[in-house]
Structure 1
Amino acid sequence: MMIRIRVGFCVKNLAKGTEQVRQQLLKDPDIDVVEYGCTSYCGICRLYHKAIVNGKPITADTPEQLLDNINDYIDNELMDQL
């Protein structure tokens, strides 16, 4: 059984540069990419690029680092659950 990976983005966070991360993740058929009006992490959303991966907030200072952090989390944390 394959676990579904869902990556959610706040629309306000996408507008500050995280959109490029969303575009990259959309190319991966194993990832469900969703957008939210708000993810209720406003404090970190204002300060960082952020995504919610299967319920866990992942943050970074740059979009490029966010993509790396998301991939690391998927590879190192989620794959252990299979």
Structure 2
Amino acid sequence: MGIVVVEVCDSNLMNTINIEEIIESEYPEVAVLISDCLNFCGLCRVAPYTMVNGKRVHGKTPEEALEKIRKAIDEELAFYQ
């Protein structure tokens, strides 16, 4: 398990890109977990989002959300440096 955890709902628009492979290849200290449901009912259909160490990160498109996820990961990792 990584020191940063990115959680993705299986029904979310983030799954239109291979977020698990992208993030884990860029950040070896990050674990991406795909869950059946993150209990933000309805948000999955409205906007691509993930949870980064328990904080919701979202964007208008999966690509925009991915950039925000990278920024959130960098901020979390800065704490450990």
Fold conserved between structures, TM > 0.5: yes
TM (normalized to structure 1)?
Answer: 0.78
Amino acid at match of 2:29: D
- 1:24-63 equivalences under 5 Å are 24-27=22-25, 28-63=27-62
* RMSD value, Cα: 2.1
Aligned partner of 1:13 in structure 2 is 12
Gaps of 5+ in 2: none
Paired with 1:15 and 1:50, the residues of 2 have a C-alpha distance of 6
Q: Is the 8 A contact 1:21 1:64 kept in 2?
A: no
Deviations 1:1-22 (A, max 9, x none): xx701001100015762x3333
Runs of 4+, deviation exceeding 4 Å: none
What's the % identity of the aligned pairs?
28
Aligned partner of 2:68 in structure 1 is 69
Paired with 2:44 and 2:29, the residues of 1 have a C-alpha distance of 25
Q: Is the 8 A contact 2:8 2:14 kept in 1?
A: no
TM (normalized to structure 2)?
Answer: 0.79
Q: Is the 8 A contact 1:25 1:33 kept in 2?
A: yes
Gaps of 5+ in 1: none
Amino acid at match of 2:34: E
Count of matched residue positions in the alignment of Structure 1 and Structure 2: 78
